[in-house]
């Protein structure tokens, strides 16, 4: 059986994923995730003890750029989509020092 | 023949010969959009003025020889998760509702360099997560063949726009079948190229290791032509692959004689819809008639592809979508208390349900204590799946199978059970996991007037074989008297009428 | 009270002196107007992708080889996921599973001998942007200029036992990184940042105590104070029978105390996973050999050479090489024709004294090595005496004065008029019969006083040796 998804797990996921769920949403999500993980559990039927995890599908390696300056984005363009800006900077709620 | 009845390559040829003007073609597309968008709803953004201005520029460019490619002057549409400089790019998400990129995706730049004219941006499942285009935050896109049905997804807007004749070709993206499945539902041709063939720069990431941009066209040759335009190594994408021959058009005239076609037994299991089984059978017959060999075989591991896919894709998505936080762009909640509440409210209000579901799953499978059991396990199974395909391609040139278990389902019937929706990706996700190319080719039309396509899967970098076989299926289908794919249904009359009288109209 | 031992390990972030950022072509220059060295990549714009700067790998390899590390021939980047506004993607591209270097050491010269501090690993990562508090709106403002500036994080083993060892280790890293040319390592500007992991245990204990991590340490002095403060805090807790809590603390150097940085929103689960946007790096032998061959002469080798080649003392050689900029200045002065020992004297003496006085580093010396060589020449040829030379030097140090022009302008040339000197000497002797008498009684020391009187009469422009000579001449005649 898969891990049991508890309310505490859901609380932690809310913090990690920065989502806010109502009690009803949380309960629904908890059930859905539980069901999904139970399903994913079938992977354990496969013996993968001697298989390396495959992250990149092709053995491409050493992709570099040279240390050469490229033109930066004009500040006005960069900030054009900002929800709030001030003095050429992005304005956000106070961060704790 | 109406201008919009041409394929993209036909149109480009006539433009080159001076028989049709670029402005004329763009106007025809815009008129078609005006006539059918209410019924189809394929676009999120259409920019007529920009397109017409661009048409004049391209006309000059063609005259001066600057634009000499096989698709110069052709109006296209672009899926709304591909960045277009100065044009709103939303991923069909509230969280990006007003986002206007100040840069072009590399694929978009290549379209422009080839003298193509972008008409607008197409609807999709939010952040490409979904199989019906119904998770879009903004619009419902309908299947032009029967507007009571979905176009598929996530590139449903692009496929519907091509099918409805609103554009001559379109860009889509495919992370787990998002080009191939809606292409099958909409009766158009679409290919997910080998991973790394088309630059992902400017494609708003869902699952970086699986995402690929690909072309959607009315014919296999349009797909090949458009892929030739956008396939290029890009220094801005570290996973972009340097591959030599990207002149895919050259494969279209080749004979499929001697091609070894394999059909996985797993793909023809009892659960398969008879219409789809019939389509695969007919495609097999056509290919055999053209000189290919067709055999059934056991591919293996297919039941593991969906859990593997959802673990990997959700994990990457949970990280890729962290940047949508209400700080630099996009939606910020109106009310919040402090920084973290701002994050939470902006994201909860800005993302739709399916996106949140995958973000949560992804966050969980990467969290400490579960990383090995879920994420690494999935990467190990991915390695096994890749091996299974390697083995298959040592015996076959092409794997033939369905692109989806059924024809397009009815609107409003898919989202209630996410698990069931995930299971319908069974024929497509393995291709992304293994980085392979997959071509969806229209094949038959079922009793409801809905098209059914088949999928041709090739080994890495073997797109040309797919185009050869795809073109052969297309030719055989035409020879069989099956011409319906040139004429999308909904635009023959009103939407209501089209929904009921599709077949007659098509003939 | 029981005896306690302090156990310290450091996580040192070093900003690399590449021209461009780690994953994009934006400049890394310090001090530009906010959000002017930015692009879609370093601001986390949707659809942007990272491409690794080759130089970053080279610099990390240089640092690793100089710190005697093993190199992971196959290494990768991982994403470290956490939300904060200075982190535009809300994940930092870093290395967890396969860092580029591991298992090295730094050899420190301590007053009581040499000591090795183990290097656990060195990994490459991207820096974050800058947050400033805006009083008017009681909000924070984000500037992404620094976002994506390449960093290496050097993680030591818990091998240090005192603030002195920590300072020596940091100075060693600073010196090494500067010699390698990979970073200027300025604590104040943030191009070098140290987080201190500290625990205490009863002397003789073999197991480690619970450690805390301290951040926001902006100078060597602050680091020393923070170590003392945290050591005392932990011992106090243990003495009271209370546990030390494993946590991150922020040092406030004004208050000379630290406070825990706790938030329920900090999940502290970074969900590291390999970055799918960046292919792995494979480092072949040839690359390592090339880097090794190109490694510059480091501090220890240079100091040894200064002793053997120029006959300097170990102490002077050590002072000159402690800072790469000073060593380069020394070599430049020699190249400009100065005698090595003279050059060494000026640099280890007056130069270091004035630098310390003005709280500057050798890299900010305003005058050129050529100027110092000129001054040394003037003194050697007797054009100026030592006293004037120091005055000239002060002017060079303060305002980059040209030594020859300064001597000319201020009339500091030694008077070579033998007649004038003899005349003045006679006047001085006549005016100081008591001193003359003492001299005759064998008190040779008064000669110094008399020379001083001549210097005063001649406004410092006499050559002391010549003055001495003139006095002796007269005294022997009388």
DSSP label at residue B231:
B
Q: What pLDDT is stored for residue B348 in this prediction?
A: 98
Mean confidence (pLDDT) of chain B: 94
Longest C-alpha distance within chain C, in Å? 97
CB contact under 8 A, A33 and B235: no
Q: Measured between alpha carbons, how far is B352 from C160 in angstroms, rounded to an integer?
A: 52
**pLDDT of B358 higher than 60:** yes
pLDDT of residue B482: 67
The residue written with tokens 């690399």 in the block is: C16
Tell me which residue in A20, A33, A73 faces B348 most closely, judged by beta carbons: A20
- Would you state the CATH architecture of domain B3-301+383-506? Alpha-Beta Complex (3.90)
Q: Of these residues, B79, B142, B464, B465, which one is catalytic? A: B79
Find the CB nearest B338 among A14, A81, A93.
A93
Burial class, B430, CB count within 10 angstroms (exposed 0-12 / middle 13-18 / buried 19+): buried
- Across the interface, of A33, A57, A78, the residue whose CB is closest to B361 is A33
The Cα C226–Cα C258 span in angstroms is 8
Per CB-CB distance under 8 Å, the chain A contacts of B238 are: 60, 63
- Contact residues on chain B for C49, CB-CB shorter than 8 A: 200-201, 236-238
Q: Do B248 and B227 touch, CB atoms closer than 8 A?
A: yes
DSSP labels for C339-378?
-HHHHHHHIIIIIHHHHHHTT--GGG--S-HHHHHHHHHH
Q: State the smallest CA–CA distance between residue A1 and chain C in angstroms.
A: 23
DSSP E strands: which ranges in B236-324?
260-264, 293-297
Cis, bond preceding B50 (omega within 30 deg of 0) = no
Q: What is the pLDDT of residue B497?
A: 37
Give the integer Cα–Cα distance in Å for B28 and A8: 58
Please answer yes or no on whether C139 and A16 come within 8 Å at the CB atom: no
Contact check, Cβ <8 Å, C25/A69: yes
Residues of chain C in contact with residue B239, where contact means CB-CB under 8 angstroms, are 276-277, 279
Please compute the mean of the pLDDT values over residues B324-340 and round it to a whole number.
96
Is B178 one of the annotated active-site residues of the chain?
A: yes
pLDDT number for residue B316: 98
Active site residue B348: no
Please state the rounded mean pLDDT for residues C119-129.
98
C-beta separation of C128 from C86 below 8 A: yes
Nearest CA in chain A to B209: A56
Instruction: Please give the Cα distance from A57 to A39 (Å, whole number).
Output: 25
Report the run of H or E that residue B398 belongs to, with start and end.
strand B398-402
Closest CA to B197 of B458, B454, B490, B498: B458
- Which residues, 6+ apart, have CB-to-CB distance to B10 below 8 Å? none
Give the pLDDT mean for C19-28: 98
Test B330 with A43 for CB contact under 8 angstroms.
no
pLDDT for the residue numbered C448:
86
Return d(Cα A47, Cα C453) in angstroms, integer: 98
Looking at residue B10, its pLDDT comes to 96
Catalytic residue among B154, B228, B440, B490: B154
Q: Quote the CA–CA distance of B345 and B354 in Å, as a whole number.
A: 17
By C-alpha distance, which of B373, C127, C174, B456 is closest to A3?
B373
Judge whether residue B495 has pLDDT over 60.
no
Average pLDDT of the segment spanning C371-395: 90
Question: How far from each other are the two terminal CA atoms of chain B, in whole angstroms?
Answer: 15
Is B202 part of the contact surface with chain C (CB cutoff 8 Å)? yes
How far from each other are the two terminal CA atoms of chain A, in whole angstroms?
A: 44
Compute the distance between CA of residue B246 and CA of residue B240 in angstroms, rounded to an integer. 14
Cβ atoms within 10 Å of B125's Cβ, excluding its own: 31
Chain C residues inside the 8 Å CB shell of A16: 81, 267, 269, 271
CB of B205 within 8 A of CB of B128? no
Which burial class, exposed, middle or buried, applies to B149 when counting CB atoms under 10 A from its CB (0-12, 13-18, 19+)?
buried
Q: Check CB contact under 8 Å for B319 and C278.
A: no
Residue of C200, C110, C95 whose CA lies nearest to C151: C95
- The DSSP bridge pattern shows strands B212-217 and B293-297 to be unpaired
User: Which residues of chain C does A66 touch, with a Cβ-Cβ cutoff of 8 Å?
Assistant: 53-55
User: Which residues on C lie below 8 Å from B238 (Cβ)?
Assistant: 49-52, 277-279
Chain B partners of A5 at a C-beta cutoff of 8 Å?
364
pLDDT band with cut points at 50, 70 and 90 for residue B504 = very low
> Minimal CA–CA distance to B347: which of B316, B322, B315, B384?
B322
pLDDT tens digits for range B5-64: 999 999 999 999 999 999 999 999 999 999 999 999 999 999 999 999 999 999 999 999
Pairing of strands B117-122, B75-79: parallel
Q: Would the ipTM clear 0.85, i.e. be above it?
A: yes
- Kindly state the tokens that stand for C180: 């390698």
- Mean predicted confidence (pLDDT) in C225-243: 94
B316 touches chain C (CB under 8 A): yes
pLDDT of amino acid B488:
53
List chain C residues with CB under 8 Å of A96: 261, 263
Mean of the pLDDT values across residues C221-250? 94
- B313's tokens: 């894709």
Among residues B93, B131, B155, B178, the one annotated as catalytic is: B178
Mean pLDDT of chain C: 92
* Separation CA B172–CA B179 (nearest Å): 6
Q: What is the mean pLDDT of residues C306-319?
A: 94
Residues C277 and C252: their CA atoms lie apart, in Å, by: 39
Q: Which residue in this structure is represented by tokens 């790469």?
A: C324
Residues of chain A scoring pLDDT < 70? 1-2, 96-97
Digit-coded pLDDT (tens) for B90-117? 999 999 999 999 999 999 999 999 999 9
Per-residue pLDDT, A86: 96
In this predicted structure, the answer to whether residue C438 has a pLDDT above a threshold of 90 is no
CA C164 to chain centre: 15
CA distance B108 to C206: 63
Cis preceding linkage at B389, omega within 30:
no
Q: How far apart are CA C434 and CA B433, in angstroms?
A: 104
B328 touches chain C (CB under 8 A): yes
Q: Which of B207, B319, B343 sits opposite C79 (nearest CB)?
A: B319
CA distances (Å), B465 to each of B386, B413, B433, C137, in order? 20, 37, 20, 62
Partnered with residue C126 across adjacent β-strands are C150
For chain B, how long is the longest CA-to-CA vector?
A: 69
Give the per-residue pLDDT at B500.
36
Phi first, then psi, for residue B74 (nearest 5°) are -85, 125
d(CA B484, CA B478): 9
Q: Which subunits count as partners of chain A given 3+ CB pairs below 8 Å?
A: B, C
Of C40, C43, C51, the CB nearest to B235: C51
Report the C-alpha gap between B33 and B38 in whole angstroms.
9
Burial C219-251 (b: 16+ CB within 10 A, else e): ebebbbbbbebbbebbbeebeeeeebeeebbbb
Nearest-angstrom CA–CA distance, B351 and B96: 9
* Strand C78-81 versus strand C273-274 pairing type: antiparallel
Count CA atoms closer than 13 A to C5's CA, side-chain side.
14
Measured N-to-C along each axis, helices C299-310 and C163-180 cross at an angle, to the nearest 10 degrees, of 80
Query: Hey, where are the domains in chain B?
Result: 3-301+383-506
Of B260, B262, B305, nearest to B431 by C-alpha is B305
From the CA of B317, how many Å to the nearest CA of chain C? Answer: 11
Phi first, then psi: give them for residue C215, nearest 5 degrees.
Answer: -120, 175
What is the number of helices (H) and of strands (E) in chain B?
A: 16, 11
Q: Report chain A's C-alpha Rg in angstroms.
A: 23
Selected for mutation to probe chain C from A67, A70, A79, A91 (highest C CB count within 10 Å) is A67
* Residue B205 in contact with partner chain C when CB distance is under 8 A: yes
- The nearest CA of chain A is from the CA of B138 a distance in Å of 20
The residues near B504 (Cβ < 8 Å, ≥ 6 apart) are: none
Q: Is B158 known to be catalytic?
A: no
Chain B contact set for A78 (CB, 8 A): 102
Contact A93 B329 (CB under 8 A): no
Bridge-based pairing state of the strands C78-81 and C91-94: antiparallel
Question: What integer pLDDT is reported at residue B485 of this predicted model?
Answer: 57
With contact defined as 3+ CB pairs under 8 Å, the chains touching C are A, B
- Per-residue pLDDT at B490 exceeds 70: no
- Digit-coded pLDDT (tens) for B205-251: 999 999 999 999 999 999 999 999 999 999 999 999 999 889 999 99
Is the CB of residue B97 less than 8 Å away from at least one CB of chain C? no
* Residue B323 to residue C88, Cβ atoms within 8 A: yes
Query: If we measure between CA atoms, which residue out of B57, B29, B23 comes closest to residue B43?
Result: B29
Taking CB atoms and an 8 Å limit, are A13 and B342 in contact across chains?
Answer: no
Across the range B176-197, mean pLDDT stands at: 98
pLDDT in tens, B381-411: 999 999 999 999 999 999 999 999 999 999 9
B213 touches chain C (CB under 8 A): no
Phi and psi angles of residue C404, each rounded to the nearest 5 degrees, phi first: -65, -45
Alpha helices in chain A (DSSP H): 7-17, 23-40, 75-79
Size of interface A-C (CB pairs under 8 A): 129
**CATH numbers and ranges of domains, chain C:** 4-288 (no CATH), 297-409 (no CATH), 418-477 (1.10.10.410)
The pTM of this model reads: 0.90
CA dihedral sign, ordered C410, C412, C416, C419:
positive
Residue B442: the pLDDT is 96
Please compute, for residue B323, the number of CA atoms within 13 A of its CA located in the half-sphere on the CB side: 25
The predicted structure's pLDDT at residue C267:
65
pLDDT above 70 covers what percent of chain B?
95
What is the pLDDT averaged over residues C216-226? 92
Contacts of B505 (CB under 8 A, 6+ apart): B487, B489, B492, B493, B497, B498
pLDDT given at position C354: 93
């Amino acid at each position: 059986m898969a891990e049991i998804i508890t309310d505490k797990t859901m609380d932690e996921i809310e913090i990690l994923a920065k989502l806010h769920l109502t009690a009803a949403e949380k309960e629904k999500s908890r059930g859905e995730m539980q069901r999904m993980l139970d399903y994913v559990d079938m992977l354990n039927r496969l013996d993968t003890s001697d298989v390396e995890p495959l992250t990149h599908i092709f053995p491409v390696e050493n992709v570099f750029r040279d240390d050469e300056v490229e033109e930066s984005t004009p500040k006005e363009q960069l900030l054009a989509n900002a929800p709030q800006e001030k003095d050429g900077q992005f304005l956000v709620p106070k961060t704790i020092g | 023949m109406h201008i919009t009845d041409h394929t993209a390559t036909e149109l480009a040829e006539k433009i080159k010969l001076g028989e049709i003007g670029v402005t004329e073609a763009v106007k025809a597309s815009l008129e078609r959009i005006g006539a059918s968008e209410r019924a189809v709803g394929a676009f999120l953004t259409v920019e007529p003025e920009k397109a017409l201005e661009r048409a004049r520029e391209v006309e000059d460019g063609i005259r001066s020889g600057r634009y000499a490619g096989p698709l110069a002057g052709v109006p296209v549409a672009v899926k709304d998760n591909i960045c277009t400089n100065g044009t709103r790019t939303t991923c069909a998400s509230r969280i990006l509702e007003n986002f206007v990129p100040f840069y072009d995706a590399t694929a978009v730049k290549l379209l422009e360099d080839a003298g193509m004219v972008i008409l607008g941006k197409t609807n999709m499942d939010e952040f490409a997560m979904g199989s019906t285009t119904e998770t879009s935050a903004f619009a419902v896109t309908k299947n032009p063949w029967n507007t009571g049905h979905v176009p598929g997804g996530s590139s449903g807007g692009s496929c519907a726009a091509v099918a409805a004749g609103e554009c001559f070709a379109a860009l889509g993206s495919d992370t787990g079948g998002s080009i191939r499945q809606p292409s099958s539902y909409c009766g158009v041709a679409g290919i997910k190229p080998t991973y790394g063939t088309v630059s992902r720069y400017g494609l708003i990431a869902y699952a970086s290791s699986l995402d690929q941009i690909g072309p959607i066209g009315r014919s296999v040759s349009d797909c090949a032509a458009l892929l030739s335009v956008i396939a290029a190594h890009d220094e801005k994408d570290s996973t972009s692959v340097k591959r030599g021959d990207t002149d895919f058009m050259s494969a279209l005239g080749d004979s499929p004689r001697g091609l070894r076609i394999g059909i996985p037994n797993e793909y023809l299991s009892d659960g398969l819809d008879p219409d789809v089984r019939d389509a695969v059978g007919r495609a097999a017959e056509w290919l055999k008639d053209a000189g290919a060999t067709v055999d059934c075989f056991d591919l293996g591991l297919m039941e593991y592809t969906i859990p593997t896919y959802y673990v990997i894709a959700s994990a990457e998505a949970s990280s890729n979508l962290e940047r949508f936080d209400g700080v630099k762009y996009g939606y910020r909640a109106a009310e919040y208390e402090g920084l973290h509440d701002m994050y939470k409210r902006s994201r909860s209000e800005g993302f739709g349900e399916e996106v949140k579901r995958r973000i949560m799953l992804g966050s969980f499978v990467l969290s400490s204590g579960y990383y090995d059991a879920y994420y690494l396990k999935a990467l190990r199974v991915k390695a096994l799946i890749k091996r299974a395909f390697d083995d298959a391609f040592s015996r076959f040139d092409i794997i033939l199978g369905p692109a989806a278990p059924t024809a397009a389902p009815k609107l409003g019937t898919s989202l209630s059970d996410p698990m069931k929706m995930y299971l319908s990706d069974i024929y497509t996700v393995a291709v992304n996991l293994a980085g392979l190319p997959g071509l969806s080719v229209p094949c038959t039309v079922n009793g409801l007037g809905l098209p059914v396509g088949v999928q041709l899967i090739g080994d890495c970098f073997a797109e040309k074989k797919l185009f050869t076989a795809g073109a052969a299926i297309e030719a055989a289908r035409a020879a069989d008297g099956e011409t319906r794919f040139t004429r999308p249904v909904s635009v023959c009359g009103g939407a209501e009428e089209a929904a009921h009288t599709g077949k007659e109209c098509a003939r | 009270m029981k005896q306690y031992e302090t156990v310290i390990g450091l996580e040192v972030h070093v900003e690399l002196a590449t021209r461009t950022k780690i994953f994009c072509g934006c400049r890394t220059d310090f001090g530009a107007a906010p959000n002017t060295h930015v692009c879609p990549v370093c601001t986390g714009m949707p659809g942007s992708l990272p491409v690794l700067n080759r130089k970053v790998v080279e610099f990390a390899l240089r640092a690793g080889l100089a710190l005697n590390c093993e190199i992971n021939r196959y290494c990768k980047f991982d994403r470290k996921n956490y939300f904060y506004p200075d982190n535009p993607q809300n994940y930092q591209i870093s290395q967890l599973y396969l860092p580029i270097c591991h298992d090295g050491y730094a050899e420190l010269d301590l007053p009581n001998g040499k000591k090795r501090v183990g290097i656990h690993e060195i990994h490459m990562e991207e820096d974050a942007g800058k947050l400033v508090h805006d009083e008017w709106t009681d909000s924070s403002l984000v500037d992404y200029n620094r976002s994506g500036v390449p960093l290496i994080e050097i993680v030591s083993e818990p091998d240090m036992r005192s603030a002195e060892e920590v300072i020596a280790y940091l100075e060693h890293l600073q010196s090494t990184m500067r010699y390698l040319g990979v970073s200027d390592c300025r604590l104040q500007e943030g191009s070098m940042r140290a987080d201190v992991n500290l625990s205490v245990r009863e002397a003789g204990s073999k197991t480690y105590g619970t450690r805390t991590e301290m951040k926001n340490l902006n100078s060597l002095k602050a680091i020393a104070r923070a170590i003392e403060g945290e050591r005392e805090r932990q011992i106090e807790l243990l003495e009271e029978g209370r546990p030390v809590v494993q946590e991150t603390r922020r040092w406030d150097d004004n208050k000379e105390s630290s406070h825990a940085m706790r938030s329920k929103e900090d999940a502290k689960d970074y969900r590291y996973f390999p970055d799918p946007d960046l292919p792995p790096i494979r480092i072949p032998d040839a690359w390592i050999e090339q880097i090794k061959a190109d490694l510059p002469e480091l501090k220890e080798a240079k100091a040894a050479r200064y002793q053997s080649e120029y006959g300097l003392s170990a102490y002077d050689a050590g002072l000159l090489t402690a800072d790469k900029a000073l060593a380069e200045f020394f070599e430049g002065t020699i190249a400009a024709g100065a005698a090595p020992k003279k050059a060494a004297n000026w640099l280890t003496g007056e130069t270091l004294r004035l630098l310390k006085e003005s709280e500057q580093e050798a890299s900010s010396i305003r005058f050129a090595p050529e100027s110092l060589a000129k001054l040394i020449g003037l003194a050697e040829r007797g054009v100026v005496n030592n006293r004037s030379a120091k005055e000239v030097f002060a002017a060079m140090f303060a305002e980059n004065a040209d030594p020859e022009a300064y001597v000319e302008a201020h009339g500091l040339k030694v008077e070579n008029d033998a007649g004038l000197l003899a005349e003045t000497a006679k006047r001085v002797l006549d005016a100081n019969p008591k001193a003359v008498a003492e001299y005759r009684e064998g008190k040779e020391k008064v000669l110094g006083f008399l020379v001083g009187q001549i210097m005063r009469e001649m406004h410092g422009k006499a050559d002391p040796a010549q003055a001495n000579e003139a006095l002796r001449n007269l005294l022997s005649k009388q």
